[in-house]
Amino acid sequence: MTEANARPVIAVLGAGKIGEALLSGLLHGGRQADELLFTERSAGRAAQLTDTYGIDAVDVPTAAKTADVLVVAVKPQDIDPLLDDLAAAVPAQTLIVSLCAGLPTSLFERRLPAGVPVVRVMPNTPMLVGKAMSAISPGKHATSAHLAVVEEILSVVGKVVRVPESQQDAVTALSGSGPAYFFFLVEAMIDAGILLGLPRAVAEKLIIQSAVGAAAMLQETGEHPVNLREAVTSPAGTTIMAIRELERHGVRAALLAAIEAARDRSRELGSAHEAD
């Protein structure tokens, strides 16, 4: 921290899509540009981000020495050289927040100075519009106070839940990939509109607004989805005819199997980084 009770200086390591979304969200949430730093591989991109947000780009050793919180947002396949750079420069009390899909906290604990607190996060792409769902898990040395710091940071770009690290593969399958399932559903429903003879632009408008409206009802009423669906399912009406077809085609079972397959793939990818 820069002074007693000041907010932590946060450095985002790798300001790509997710890293930029976080920086932009933090500024919108009231952080000052001088409380933030970032590192980028490409000098051109770094200059463009500094122009846009007024946040300084630094090299990894400078970020490691200056920041209280290091948010790692590089692709998992780029983690090794970054960990090498960090190992030599990061103080053991610096909080490491990893957004990298599939990388266990033990990887950071093994490669960085002994006792370093690590929090693993699974965010999702709606972070780009300030509506992320992030699940956070503590590593061996992360305390409840560390988790609170991470919650405070991520709550400016969406919602946050705490889960044990053992549940991160399930989270990846559910909310990490989740937006893709909704996009797939919307795409299929727009196709149905085309099948019924509607112009594409009209079908898109009808379905996207229905998706937004349904999501808002789920969030704002707090009603269980079953109750909301029953409210639009009248006896011998149109909705129940559609529901019968969805059940006949095994859509519910398909979702269960699809999400289980995503969980298994997440486990498989993560196992490559378990202790050597």
Q: For binding to ligand NAP (CB under 6 A), which residues are involved?
A: 13-14, 16-19, 39-42, 60, 73-76, 78, 81-82, 99-101, 123-125, 176
Q: How far is the CB of 8 from ligand NAP (least distance, A)?
A: 20
Please check whether residue 194 is in contact with residue 204, taking contact to mean a CB–CB distance below 8 angstroms. Answer: no
Q: Which of 154/203 has CB closer to ligand NAP?
A: 154
Nearer to ligand NAP, 100 or 203 (CB): 100
**Minimum separation from the CB atom of position 257 to ligand NAP (A):** 22
Closer residue to ligand NAP (CB): 73 or 207: 73
Q: Which is nearer to ligand NAP, 123 or 138 (CB)?
A: 123
Q: Residue 249, Cα to own-chain centre: how many angstroms?
A: 31
Beta carbon of residue 129, minimum distance to ligand NAP (angstroms, whole number):
12
Taking the least distance from each CB to ligand NAP, the nearer of 60 and 69 is: 60
- In DSSP terms, which residues pair with 111 in a beta bridge? none
Q: How far does Cα 253 stand from its chain's mean position?
A: 26
Q: How near is the Cβ of 13 to ligand NAP at its closest, in Å?
A: 6
Calpha distance 191→184 (Å, rounded): 11
The token pair at 56 is: 């300084």
